[in-house]
Amino acid sequence: MDAKTTYQVTAQLLDYPDNWINQDIQTSDSRILSFLTYAKNTPIEELCQLYVNTFDFSKDTTLYLTYYRYQEQKERGEALVKIKEQYTNAGLDLNKELPDYLPVMLEFASINPAGETLLEQYLLALLTLKKNLCKNPYNFLIETILRQIETPKAVGDIQ
């Protein structure tokens, strides 16, 4: 699966389950297929509860990536402004979510090469999210994203 498709599919699957559960999602990626198998075999109420418990009630597994670096410090606001400027410069309109929301970042990466660079800047946050998700089925999606963006240069930057 190419990078653009990977980012589009994972962005969709990291959204609240009601928004995608009845859609036919085509992929050949084994990690995404594993997640989809889990999702299709789990009652929607349970899947929605897992989503909320995982991403809405835990700061350790938030989808707002600047949080991992800045928590609630004022520098987080500055980082959000910089990300939003990148979106605005690319013609992307953000009205419903903060700019550091991972599905929004993935959508940006699917339409603009600067988006992949932005994801690489938050590689450490993604690695932390992966570690914190541990055995959670959403970890399959984070692994997919990481495999797409990890490069020898990016890995070297975090060591």
Q: Average pLDDT by consecutive 10-residue portion of the chain (159 residues)?
A: 94 91 88 95 96 96 97 93 94 85 96 94 97 96 95 43
Q: What pLDDT is stored for residue 44 in this prediction? A: 95
Contacts of 100 (CB under 8 A, 6+ apart): 64, 65, 66, 67, 79, 80, 83, 122
Q: What pLDDT is stored for residue 155 in this prediction? A: 44
Q: What pLDDT is stored for residue 75 in this prediction? A: 94
Positive or negative, the CA dihedral 111, 9, 13, 21 is positive
Residue 146 CA to residue 127 CA, distance in Å, equals 8
Name residue, tokens 């009630």: 57
Residue 108 CA to residue 104 CA, distance in Å, equals 6
Q: What pLDDT is stored for residue 19 in this prediction? A: 76
State the distance between the two ends of the chain, measured CA to CA, in whole angstroms.
28
Contact 121, 105 (CB under 8 A): no
